Structure 1
Amino acid sequence: MNNIGFGDKDFSFAVYIANKPNMLEYQSLCEVTSLVEGEINVINQACGNGWRKVFNVYAKLLYALDKKHFDYSENTPTWQNYRDKYLLQSQSKTALLFSPPQLMSNIEMPNKKIVHIVCGKGHAKALINSSNLVANLIWLDDEFAIDKENRLIVCPYFDYRQLSNIKIERLAGLLSDLGGIREGIE
């Protein structure tokens, strides 16, 4: 099965979401496609505030991460600038995927540490029920679950109300507990 979505084909940080932007050019995606500078703004203009929130929360999360493990905030001075100039583009190591997670153990890929984040409890449950996600999730509460072995976290949907700044900080802490992407790829 191919990964399908936006971002760097050689990603190490993947966010999984249930829906694609409602734009004709994205409906037949069959692989990971890098966005170009300005494309996030085009999607926001065409698809509205929901997608703006997804991209904003994604960039804010990357900026909330522990700099010892994740280097995203070293590229630009603000999360807004990172969103506009790097997020989901070639060489960004980030992806927003519409396909199910393809979990590979550290044994199969010892030098590639991928972080997997599934947006929304409903999306995670649908993936599990369809057998497209086989994971050993431990639910920490009603909103967050973690599978440390597979470096997988389920969190609220990337929306300001569901994944507030306080919850972004909590998610960043959970990601730090997994260890970053720097180990094993530098």
Structure 2
Amino acid sequence: MEVDDLGRRLTEAGVRTLLIDGRSGSGKSTLAERLSRAWAPSVVVRLDDIYPGWDGLAWAVDHIRTAVLEPRAAGRPGRWRRWDWTTGTPGGWHDVDTDARLIVEGVGALTAANRALADLGIWVQTADAERKRRALLRDGDMYRPHWDQWAALEDDHLARHRPQSLADWTMTETPAGPIWTPG
């Protein structure tokens, strides 16, 4: 399935809230960006902008649910808080309009509680060596000393929430291109 086709399908199905999860470097951000263009207008909220430091995965999972997804489900605007990675402190607040099409992407996006508040979930997977190559190419020296620490948090998320089992679609990155499999 092409991303443009997926954007058309989302529009036709009346999808308003989409969650994209997968391990670090799997291609979540790239998919979200491409899908945002194909499913315009839409807003992308990246959990990378929310995690409060290298131990903040669980906090961000709860924050996106209580601050964005639950208010939207109740017909109210969502509001999330950015983490300033440079200073290591909380940053500004960002509003998400109730009527906006929303893509939440990042490790931790798909949990049972979050999925219950969204219209669709996608799991993105890529071979481990390729994921690591991409992530370190993208974030380099900032990420390198934290790779194992973050991978342990991902392992905990996978064991606790089983996000792949919550996905409506799995996109597997291969050298020949993406393969889409229904959940």
TM-score of the pair, normalised by structure 2:
0.32
- In terms of fraction of residues, the more strand-rich structure is 2
TM-score by length of 1: 0.31
Greater helix percent: which structure? 2
